[in-house]
């Protein structure tokens, strides 16, 4: 969750999308959903029918064609990561997939966005034009980053909070392998589809490593 001026004095409810449990808790409230990716679009689509909700983004979200599902999106995003500047199909992991609930809200004009507010007040926010508005709750759809603190004692964490790997294997600590941590571990590997592909591609190398360091592995 990012930090904004006045956030610590804001008395309303703040929730990251990781802990969002549905629209029931927000009925009758004034809510801001912050973040221009799929989580933001999907949560706004759920809330729009029973909640006074605004979708706050820094940039206009990109809605993908109706026939682009999660698997196609993964393939396109992976191609963009590995293309080294070559022309690739449009679509990244954060671009909006038109699942039925999102498409329905989009067709009804419920997925319009507003610009980011400037700061918090005790009871709401201050918008760029200086106007103030009371807000009951904020839902932060601002993504995730890997939790690596348990690896700190291995001295493998870089200044950008990643671990340098080749085929999932840590360069600094060869006994450490990481799957599913994001593009720095393997292209698109922070997605369900990508983590599976990353495992299929890298586990054989892990098995080879284990056999080379522990010759008795696999023997009866």
pLDDT at residue 171, rounded to an integer: 96
Same domain, 128 and 100: yes
| Residue 198 covered by a domain | yes
Domain boundary among 140, 161, 195: 140
CA angle 157, 161, 164 (to 5 degrees): 55
pTM of the model: 0.74
- Domain identity same for 123 and 194: no
Q: Which of 140, 161, 196 is the last residue of a domain?
A: 140
DSSP run (H or E) holding 193: helix 192-213
Does residue 183 fall inside a structural domain? yes
The helix/strand/coil state of 203 is helix
- The answer to whether residue 80 is domain-embedded is no
Q: Which of 82, 88, 90 is nearest to 62 (CA)?
A: 90
Please give the average per-residue pLDDT across 140-144, as a whole number.
91
pLDDT digits (tens, 9 = 90+) for 38-69: 999 999 999 998 999 999 999 999 888 877 66
Interval 103-112: pLDDT, tens:
999 999 999 9
As beta bridge partners, residue 133 has: 125
Q: How many domains does the chain have?
A: 2
Residues 51 and 112 in one domain: yes
- β-strands 52-56, 165-166 pairing: unpaired
Residues 199, 105: one domain? no
Structural domain including 198 reads 149-213
């Amino acid at each position: 969750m990012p930090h904004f001026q006045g956030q610590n004095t804001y008395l309303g409810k703040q929730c990251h999308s990781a802990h969002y449990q549905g629209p029931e808790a927000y009925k009758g409230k004034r809510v801001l959903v912050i973040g221009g990716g799929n989580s933001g679009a999907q949560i706004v689509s759920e809330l729009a029918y029973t909640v006074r909700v605004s979708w706050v983004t820094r940039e206009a979200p990109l809605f993908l064609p109706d026939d682009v599902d999660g698997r196609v999106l993964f393939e396109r995003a992976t191609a963009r990561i590995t293309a080294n500047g070559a022309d690739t199909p449009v679509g990244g992991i954060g671009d909006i997939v038109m699942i039925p609930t999102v498409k329905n809200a989009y067709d009804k004009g419920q997925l319009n966005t507003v610009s980011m507010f400037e700061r918090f007040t005790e009871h709401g926010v201050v918008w760029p034009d200086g106007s103030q508005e009371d807000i009951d709750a904020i839902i932060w759809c601002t993504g995730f980053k890997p939790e690596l603190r348990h690896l700190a004692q291995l001295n493998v964490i870089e200044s950008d909070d990643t671990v340098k790997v080749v085929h999932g294997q840590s360069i600094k600590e060869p006994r450490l392998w990481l799957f599913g941590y994001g593009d720095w571990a393997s292209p698109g590997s922070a997605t369900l589809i990508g983590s599976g592909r990353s495992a299929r591609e890298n586990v054989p190398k892990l098995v080879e490593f284990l056999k080379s360091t522990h010759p008795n592995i696999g023997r009866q």
